[in-house]
Amino acid sequence: MQVQKHPHKLACVEVESGKELTYIQLNKLMNKYANFFEAEGYKNGDVVSLFMENGIDFFAIWLGLSKIGVISAFINSNLKLEPLAHSIKAAASKSVITSSSLLPTLNAIISGGLINMETMEVFLNDGESTELRVLNQEIQSVSSSEPKNKGIHFQKIWKDFVGRFGIQRIGELYGSTEGNSNIVNLDNHVGSCGFFPIYPHMGSFYPVRLIKVDQETGALIRNKNGLCIPCRPGELGEMVGVIKNKDLLLKFEGYVNKGDTQKKIYRDVFAKGDQVFASGDILFWDELGYLYFKDRRGDTFRWKGENVSTTEVEGILQPVMSVIDATVYGVEVGNNEGKAGMAAVVLVNGINVKDFLSEISKRLTDNLAAYAIPLFMRLCKEVDRTGVKTELQKQGFDLAKCKGDSIYYWNTAMKEYVKLDEKMQNDIETGVYNRI
C-alpha cells in the first residue's frame, strides 16, 4: 500500500552504514529475494532461519520470504555453539541465511557436528550486494570467531541521549514480535516501558493487563472461582494480552512448534473459556499508571535487554567433570534494570579452584553470548533446589549472607572470574564499578 501511495518516500535507514531505501526500492529488493527462494523450490509453510544482524537486508529478506508464504525464524545473533545449534534445530529450518560477520560463528557449530549440513542449506548475504550464495561446500573452510554483544542499558543513557541530540519526543514500543500484549511509552517518561489507564472501569475494556503471580514460585494466583486476579496500581504482575482470533491486532498466531504455542496461552483468566497470551514479563504498575519492567517469569531472567535461559546456562556448566551440581538464577544488581546471572556451583572435593575457574571461563565464553555469562559464581558446599532458588536469590552476591561461600565476579575485560571482596561488592552495588 505504501509503495503505491508514497513510492519515493524514505522507507528505512541503516544507521551504521547510512544506506537508505525508498518504499519502491525496498519492495524491489523484497521481490528479488522472494523470486530467488521461489526459484530454489521454497514454498508456503517452509521455515528459514535468519541468523543475521539487524539491517535493511534482514528486513527485506524477511518480508520477501513472507510474500511466498515462507516462515522466517529469527535467530538471536548473539548466540554461539550449543545454544545456537539448539535454536536452529528447534525451528526445524530448511535452510539458514547468515551474514559475513556471523559466518564464522555458524561454521563453528557445523565443524563441531552440532547440526547436520546434509539436511540443510546455508545462504550467505555478504552486505556488498543483494546476491545470496549457497555455502554448503565452502563453509567448512572458514575459521571461527566470536560475534559482538550489542546489549545497551537504555535507561542509563536515555537522558544523555535526548539532551545530546536535542530530541523532542521518543516513542517506545514494548512487546514481542509474535505476541499481542504490546504497550507504548509516548511521553518520554524515563524508565517506563508503557502506560495503563488507572481508572477501574477502563480495565475490563483494555486488552492488555497485569495479573497476579506468586513472586516466589511464579504460579498464577487464582480466586475461589478459578479465575486470575487482575492487578491494581502499585502492584506487580505478569503482562498478558487477551486473545481474540477474529481481531487481527489481538489474535495470536503462535510458533512453528505447537507445543511452544500452548505454553504461551493461559485459559480461564478473566472469564471461563477465555484465552490470553502470556508474555512472561513481570511489570510494576505505579500509582500514575506507568509500567516498569522488573523480572521474567519461570526459568528465564532479563539482563542487558536480553532474555537468558537458566536451563541453557546450567546445560553448559553441568557437563564439566569437576562440577557435582550447578544452578543458575538472576539477582538484582544495584539500580540496573533486570537481573544479572549468578551460578551456584558445587565442586568435587580436592579440585583446584584456580584451574576450575580458568576452565569454566573459557567454556562459558566459547558457548554463551556475553549477556548470558553469569556475572557471579558462588562456590557452595551444596545447592538446595527445594526452595525454587528463592533463598539463593535473596542472598544474591552479599558476602555477609552467603554462609562463608567464596564468590567470584566476571571481569569482562579479562574474560575470567575474580574473587569478590567487600570493597568490590560495594562498588558493584553502588555503581562505582559499572563494567558489568
Task: Write down the pLDDT at residue 150.
Answer: 37
Q: Which residue matches cell numbers 583446584? A: 352
Full set of structural domains in the chain with CATH? 1-141 (3.40.50.980), 180-296 (2.30.38.10), 301-430 (3.30.300.30)
Mean pLDDT by 10 residues, the chain (436 residues): 82 84 91 91 91 90 93 90 87 88 88 77 67 44 32 55 71 77 79 80 76 84 94 91 84 77 90 92 89 84 88 90 92 89 94 95 93 95 67 92 94 94 94 85
In sequence order, the β-bridge partners of residue 436 are none
Gap between the Cα atoms of 37 and 13, Å rounded: 25
H helices then E strands: how many in the chain?
Answer: 11, 22
Gap between the Cα atoms of 307 and 295, Å rounded: 10
Task: Write down the pLDDT at residue 120.
Answer: 75
Task: Write down the pLDDT at residue 237.
Answer: 92
Task: Write down the pLDDT at residue 132.
Answer: 57
Gap between the Cα atoms of 242 and 218, Å rounded: 20
CA 338 to chain centre: 12
Task: Write down the pLDDT at residue 30.
Answer: 92
Strand intervals (E) in 169-322: 172-174, 183-185, 194-195, 208-211, 235-242, 265-267, 275-285, 290-296, 300-303, 306-309
DSSP class of 147: P
DSSP class of 297: S
Gap between the Cα atoms of 338 and 329, Å rounded: 12
Task: Write down the pLDDT at residue 173.
Answer: 79
Gap between the Cα atoms of 329 and 265, Å rounded: 24
Instruction: Give the angle subtended at the CA of 265 by the CAs of 262 and 266, to the nearest 5°.
Output: 130
